[in-house]
């Protein structure tokens, strides 16, 4: 972390205090309310420190430095934290309460990587109402919320008895290719998953997300001189262009399924029939069935064009995250959490379908009902305007604490 003075200003703290003081928290024990208040005041300096460290997904050193900070901040009685060494990713983190694994548990999910390469968007700042900085919303703010809840529960001796685990992966922003094994390992003991990605503007609970995938298409033709021997060549760029046109047309008019060719390379010079070309494609689908049809259609297209053009089109990749689709169990989870959210002035509504995947998709893939968007409210994540609303931290904390404290009773 840099040696610069903290950017936290007193109106920021006043807004936080005000939001907490105004909450209807009668359901929580006074001792817990007091400890949560004390721990809330630690949230800002912690979040500032975490945001000040660049943790772009492929900046492993930065991600690991944030992981060190997280381990320190979550070294709490009744909670056992450990690093899971990354494979082609920075380290992931897992914390388990003493009661985790003894009965069906609640898995609290976050990530500590961001989408900002070093030097593109750095440093934390704030005004009276908002916090700004890379990851302040997506989703170090959500991690700060989790830490605050865990610390308050630990202070009151309640954490060890709750079957709770916290996980923070280091590669969520690129699809959790490595982090998913860490999540998968926890799903056996998890009855539900709560994911603390950015809260929506209207506080709606995220229950649906598209599945996401990536395909790399390689075209291998035959080089030839464009003037002397054109007909002997097999133009890889032309074949790939035809594939791209067909692929783009698979986007459904209603947006349920989308295809975006986002990167193309190929050829060596204007007077050579290109032997090689390559493109990368982003895929999104609303249901698992749609995703399956989409990938099959792309494979068919590649096979047909290979035959017609004598250029070998090869596909690599596919769906990385399956869609998060509503289920009965997820509906029960959303209405349980929604009741606590509503009690503290948030919404119990469910958000409209989102195009982006998250680790809620990963949990659902493993049969664990999950809801998302439970982090602080804000806007403009993945842009240099990313910000979180200060007043949203307190009610989110209140809802989470109430949900966790009644978890055991709800299981009986
Ligand atoms: Zn995120």
| CA of residue 379 to ligand 1 center, whole Å | 12
CA of 327 to the centre of ligand 1 (A): 23
Q: In angstroms, what is the span from residue 360 Cα to ligand 1's centroid?
A: 11
Question: How would you classify the pairing of strands 211-220 and 312-321?
Answer: antiparallel
**Percent with pLDDT over 70 in the chain:** 99
pTM for this predicted structure:
0.90
CA 145 – ligand 1 centroid, Å: 14
Confidence category of residue 2, pLDDT binned at 50, 70, 90: very low
User: Ligand 1 centre from 381 Cα, in Å?
Assistant: 8
Among residues 121, 36, 87, 111, which one has the least CA distance to residue 395? 36
- Distance (angstroms) between ligand 1 centre and the Cα of 386 equals 12
Angle at 14 (CA atoms; ends 13, 20), nearest 5 degrees: 90
Q: Which domains does the chain have, with CATH numbers?
A: 10-208+324-411 (3.40.630.10), 211-321 (3.30.70.360)
For residue 257, is pLDDT > 90? Answer: yes
**Quick one: pLDDT band at residue 168, thresholds 50, 70, 90?**
very high
Per-residue b/e over 381-407, b at no fewer than 16 CB within 10 Å? bbeeebbbbbbbbbbbbbbbbbbbbeb
Q: Which two tokens stand for residue 116?
A: 């900002």
Distance 297 CA to ligand 1 centre (A): 30
Tens digit of each residue's pLDDT (9 = 90 or more) over 298-313 = 999 999 999 999 999 9
pLDDT band for position 16 (50/70/90)?
Answer: confident
CA of 7 relative to ligand 1 center, distance in Å: 24
**Alpha-carbon torsion angle 335, 337, 343, 344, nearest 10:** -140
| Ligand 1 midpoint to CA 29 (Å) | 32
CA dist 38 and 151 (Å) reads 10
Which tens digit of pLDDT belongs to each residue from 336-382? Answer: 999 999 999 999 999 988 778 899 999 999 999 999 999 999 999 99
Q: What letters, b where the CB count within 10 A reaches 16 and e where it falls short, cover 316-350?
A: eeebbbbbbbeeeebeebbebbbebbebbbbebbb
Q: What are the pLDDT digits (tens) for 200-239?
A: 889 999 999 999 999 999 999 999 999 999 999 999 999 9
352 alpha carbon – ligand 1 mean position (Å): 18
| Cα gap 331→146, rounded to integer Å | 23
Distance 377 CA to ligand 1 centre (A): 13
Contact 96, 80 (CB under 8 A): yes
């Amino acid at each position: 972390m840099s040696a610069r003075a903290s950017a936290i200003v007193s109106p920021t703290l006043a807004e936080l205090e005000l939001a907490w003081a105004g909450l209807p928290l009668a359901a929580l024990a006074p001792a817990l309310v007091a400890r949560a208040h004390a721990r809330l005041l630690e949230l800002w300096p912690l979040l500032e420190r975490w945001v000040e460290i660049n943790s772009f997904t492929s900046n492993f050193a930065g991600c690991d430095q944030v992981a060190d900070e997280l381990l320190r901040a979550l070294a709490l009685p009744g909670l056992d934290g450990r690093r899971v060494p990354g494979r082609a990713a920075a380290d992931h983190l897992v914390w388990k309460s003493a009661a985790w694994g003894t009965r069906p548990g609640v898995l609290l999910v976050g990530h500590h990587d961001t989408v900002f390469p070093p030097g593109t968007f750095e440093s934390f700042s704030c005004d009276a109402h908002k916090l700004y900085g890379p990851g302040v919303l997506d989703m170090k703010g959500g991690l700060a919320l989790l830490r605050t809840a865990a610390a308050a529960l630990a202070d009151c001796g309640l954490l060890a008895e709750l079957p709770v685990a916290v996980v923070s992966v280091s590669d969520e922003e690129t699809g959790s290719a490595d982090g998913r094994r860490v999540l998968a390992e926890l799903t056996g003991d998890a009855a539900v998953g709560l994911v603390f990605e950015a809260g929506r503007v209207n506080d709606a609970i995220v229950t649906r997300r598209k599945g996401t995938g990536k395909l790399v298409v390689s075209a291998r033709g035959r080089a030839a001189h464009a003037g002397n021997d054109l007909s002997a060549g097999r133009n890889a760029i032309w074949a790939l262009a035809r594939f791209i046109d067909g692929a783009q047309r698979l986007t459904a008019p209603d947006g349920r399924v989308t295809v975006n060719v986002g990167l193309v390379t190929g050829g060596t010079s204007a007077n050579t029939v290109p032997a090689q070309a390559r493109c990368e494609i982003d895929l999104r689908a609303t249901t698992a069935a749609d995703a399956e049809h989409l990938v099959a259609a792309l494979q068919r297209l590649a096979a047909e064009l290979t035959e017609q053009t004598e250029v070998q089109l090869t596909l690599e990749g596919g769906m990385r995250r399956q869609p998060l689709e509503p289920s009965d169990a997820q509906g029960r989870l959303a209405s349980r959490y929604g009741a606590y959210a509503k009690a503290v002035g948030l919404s119990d509504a469910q958000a409209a379908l989102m195009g982006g995947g998250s680790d809620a998709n990963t949990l659902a893939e493993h049969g664990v009902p999950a809801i998302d968007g439970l982090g602080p409210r804000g806007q403009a994540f993945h842009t240099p305007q990313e910000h979180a609303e200060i007043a949203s931290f307190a009610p989110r904390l209140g809802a989470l604490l109430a949900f966790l404290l009644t978890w055991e009773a709800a299981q009986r």
